[in-house]
Chains A and B, each alone.
Chain A
Amino acid sequence: MKIDVEKSLLWTSVAAFGLFAIGAVLTTIVPPLVSPLMYKTDHDVHEYTEQEKRGIAIYKAEGCVYCHTQQVRNLASDRRRYGWRLVQAPSSESWEYVNDKEHFLGTKRTGPDLARVGGKYSSEWHWAHFKDPRNMGEKFPDRKGIYEKVSIMPKFDYLSDEEIKDLTAYIQTLGRNKNWRVDKDGNELNDYEK
């Protein structure tokens, strides 16, 4: 039997679907089976509290992910840039995200990466920064004009204080599944968080 694919609606459709299905199955269903760390882990991963979950909902609704990624890539420059007090940030690994019902890995960095931001700044700093990112005092001492060398992040002053607290609670958890902010001897480097 000779099948003339170009004359047959059925065969064109079946063949187009078949070729597509191979790749579709191997890139969506197979990866978690081959690399189970994509969805489960034996490590101790932080479970989000109710307040932090509210923070996640705000993070999503405000679209933070469009300017801030949440992945320290496996690159020396990323590890250095997003480190803390000369301690390099460890690269992000897939098991750290298993409790994230909403992932915020992101594709674009207009602002800095947030994967390891938890605990780097005090919650008061975050509060002031959300209210007006362009009025951070000593942070940008050499600014020339108003739009020179200052953040271009939008103001989130329309969020209520309660919402900012929720959002900050979530942001303070980021990147802490690995206890990485320690000195050579393993002593905690936190000073304002104890």
Chain B
Amino acid sequence: MKQDTAAKTMIIASCVYFGLALTMGILTALKFVVPTVGEIEYLSMPRVRMLHTNINLFGWLLQANMGILFWILPRILHTKLFSEKLGVAMGIVYNLAVLGGFAAIILGNVKNVEYGEIPPPFDYMIAICWVMFAVNVFGTVAIRKVKYLYVSVWYTLGAVIWTTFVYITGNMFSQMPMVAGVNQANLVWFYVHNAVGLIFTPLGVAIAYYLIPKQLDTPIYSHKLSMVGFWVISFVYVWTGAHHMIHGPQPHWLQTVSIIFSFSLIIPVMAVITNFFGTFATAPRGKRMLGPIPKLLMMGTVYYIFTCLQGPFQAIRSVNEITSKTDWVVGHAHMALFGAFSYYAMAGIYYVVPKLAGRRLYSEKMGNTHFWMMTLASIPFFAVLWIGGVIQGFAWLNPENTFVDTLAALKHAHWMRFTTGSIIFISYFLFLYNILQTLFGKYPEDAEPEAETVTAQ
């Protein structure tokens, strides 16, 4: 089978899902301001929200990350992908599972796991795909032609190992009949938090660790920092699940443990970020911000700092009292998954797709426009969610406010979220058009082709 077929399939599919996920996001935001829009069973707000999160996580982000890594891993390890056929088979089964899952959600057949609503048998199919992905990753590392494993490879290996256990425990074991009540809640939050922390963080960071030095033509700033980042995150991330239930019915000691480890997360995150910024700072000036890729990587890193500083502080009991259960949390989740890791994934797609097509990107200029539109819209998008969340949190403190009063206070924030979200949605089409043109379109190629094959390295 032709090299990189698996990467190509998954990247194209993920770009399409991205648009679908954004559509669902817009629809949810619209329902907050005009609740009578689309008032039918299959488009009721909770179902649209479940579709929004699941399409984003499984359809877009995870699939894009796996596709990009299918391309990156062989290049780092100077070999071919372990099995291209297995990769393509996985891509097909995965997309069937994901589509089946989405159909089930629309019909109201869901599992009671936030971020993992896709019901059986489709969730088991996703687990099988994950095993196929793991075989391919381990196989590719095993047949490598270089001695040392690069940071990106550690993170990918870590993600594959950790996620296997997180998914089994949180998404499958938690649904067994003997698991109930707060115990089940604990397992589910173990899944919810680590789905972000031990799937999307390591995969996103792995991609950034490859792209930043490669794109800027500069060695990584510090090898020691990359080791600190990886080994500390593999120890501390998993402890934090219970911080979703601070002040709640969870045992007090478990909450305290999760708060302490939420704070320890500052260590690996700062190590990674120092490393990324250090690489940017030592890169040749002319290359630092040339084209959409370094811009997306830079902005993704900035969002990564913000989201990872926000996390520990909102886990403090007194801060949590105000921010928890409000729109603030929504803003935090968006900045991690959209701001940081979707930006890395988009950078990865901008990098990989021209190489897959064997020619330069259709339009750098359009890429820049996409970046600026998306970034300038996403900053107020996150900001209104936090401001709205704080307003809501303080409004709840006053028993004179009825619940509807506290909701009415958010009206402007919700309109703003819908407006800025729409701009993000529009800028997505620039991204999609650029990618599809690069792959399938006809345009004059004045630059020399950038095809990069294994032997060329």
> Which residues of A are in contact with B by a Cβ distance under 8 Å?
6-9, 12-13, 15-17, 19-24, 26-28, 31-32, 34-35, 37-39, 60-67, 69, 71, 73-75, 77-78, 80-81, 91-94, 96-112, 134, 140, 147-156, 158
Contact partner of A31 (CB less than 8 A), chosen from B44, B47, B112, B251, is B251
Asked whether any CB of chain A lies closer than 8 Å to the CB of B242, the reply is: yes
Residues of chain B within 8 A (CB-CB) of A31 are: 183, 186, 251, 254
Stretch at the interface among B33-41, B95-103, B440-448: B33-41
A12-B185 in contact given A27-B238, A31-B254 (Cβ < 8 Å): no
B157 touches A9 (CB 8 A): yes
0/1 string, B59-85, CB within 8 A of A gives 1: 000000000000000000000000000
A164 to chain B minimum Cβ distance, whole angstroms, is 14
0/1 string, B103-128, CB within 8 A of A gives 1: 00000111010100000000000000
Residues of chain A within 8 A (CB-CB) of B313 are: none
- List of 3 A-B pairs having minimum Cβ-Cβ separation, nearest first: A63-B46, A97-B181, A23-B238
B169 touches A24 (CB 8 A): yes
A16-B234 in contact given A38-B181, A103-B188 (Cβ < 8 Å): yes
Contact partner of B142 (CB less than 8 A), chosen from A9, A19, A67, is A9
Contact count A vs B, C-beta below 8 Å: 221
Query: Mind listing 8 A-B residue pairs with CB under 8 Å?
Result: A7-B148, A39-B180, A66-B49, A71-B249, A96-B249, A107-B114, A107-B192, A148-B408
Contact partner of A101 (CB less than 8 A), chosen from B46, B177, B258, B261, is B177
Residues of chain A within 8 A (CB-CB) of B249 are: 71, 91-94, 96-97, 105
A6-B148, A9-B141, A20-B165 known, 5 other contacts, Cβ within 8 Å: A39-B182, A65-B114, A108-B329, A110-B32, A147-B34
B158 touches A94 (CB 8 A): no
A32 touches B183 (CB 8 A): yes
Contact partner of A98 (CB less than 8 A), chosen from B47, B149, B181, B234, is B181
B248 touches A71 (CB 8 A): yes
A39-B161 in contact given A62-B44, A75-B321 (Cβ < 8 Å): no
Whole-angstrom CA separation of A34 from B188 in the bound complex: 19
The CB with the most chain A CB atoms within 10 A, among B112, B254, B257, is that of: B112
Whole-angstrom CA separation of A134 from B39 in the bound complex: 13
Whole-angstrom CA separation of A12 from B239 in the bound complex: 21
B251 touches A12 (CB 8 A): no
A27 touches B257 (CB 8 A): yes
Chain B interface main SS type? helix
A7 touches B180 (CB 8 A): no
Stretch at the interface among B208-216, B343-351, B395-403, B421-429: B395-403
The chain B residue sitting closest to A106, CB to CB, is B325
Asked whether any CB of chain A lies closer than 8 Å to the CB of B272, the reply is: no
A77 touches B397 (CB 8 A): yes
A103-B181 in contact given A63-B47, A152-B35 (Cβ < 8 Å): yes
Residues of chain B within 8 A (CB-CB) of A65 are: 112, 114
Residues of chain A within 8 A (CB-CB) of B403 are: 81, 111-112
A71-B245 in contact given A61-B110, A99-B180 (Cβ < 8 Å): yes
Whole-angstrom CA separation of A21 from B184 in the bound complex: 19
B324 to chain A minimum Cβ distance, whole angstroms, is 8
Residues of chain B within 8 A (CB-CB) of A147 are: 33-35, 411
A175 to chain B minimum Cβ distance, whole angstroms, is 12
A149 touches B397 (CB 8 A): no
Contact partner of A107 (CB less than 8 A), chosen from B244, B250, B396, is B244
Whole-angstrom CA separation of A67 from B32 in the bound complex: 11
Asked whether any CB of chain A lies closer than 8 Å to the CB of B263, the reply is: no
Whole-angstrom CA separation of A110 from B190 in the bound complex: 23
Whole-angstrom CA separation of A17 from B45 in the bound complex: 39
Residues of chain A within 8 A (CB-CB) of B35 are: 134, 147, 151-154
Residues of chain B within 8 A (CB-CB) of A61 are: 108-110
Asked whether any CB of chain A lies closer than 8 Å to the CB of B162, the reply is: yes
A60 touches B46 (CB 8 A): no
Residues of chain A within 8 A (CB-CB) of B411 are: 147
Contact partner of A100 (CB less than 8 A), chosen from B165, B180, B247, B321, is B180
The chain B residue sitting closest to A64, CB to CB, is B46
B154 touches A77 (CB 8 A): no
The chain B residue sitting closest to A147, CB to CB, is B34
The CB with the most chain B CB atoms within 10 A, among A64, A103, A155, is that of: A103
Whole-angstrom CA separation of A134 from B166 in the bound complex: 41
A27 touches B239 (CB 8 A): yes
Whole-angstrom CA separation of A101 from B183 in the bound complex: 10
B318 to chain A minimum Cβ distance, whole angstroms, is 10
Whole-angstrom CA separation of A157 from B181 in the bound complex: 30
Residues of chain A within 8 A (CB-CB) of B339 are: none
Residues of chain A within 8 A (CB-CB) of B45 are: 63, 66-67, 154
B46 touches A67 (CB 8 A): yes
B169 touches A38 (CB 8 A): no
Residues of chain B within 8 A (CB-CB) of A80 are: 399
Whole-angstrom CA separation of A69 from B404 in the bound complex: 16
Contact partner of A9 (CB less than 8 A), chosen from B112, B138, B183, B324, is B138
Contact partner of B161 (CB less than 8 A), chosen from A13, A69, A109, A111, is A13
Residues of chain A within 8 A (CB-CB) of B149 are: 6-9, 12
The chain A residue sitting closest to B28, CB to CB, is A66
The chain B residue sitting closest to A150, CB to CB, is B404
B335 to chain A minimum Cβ distance, whole angstroms, is 16
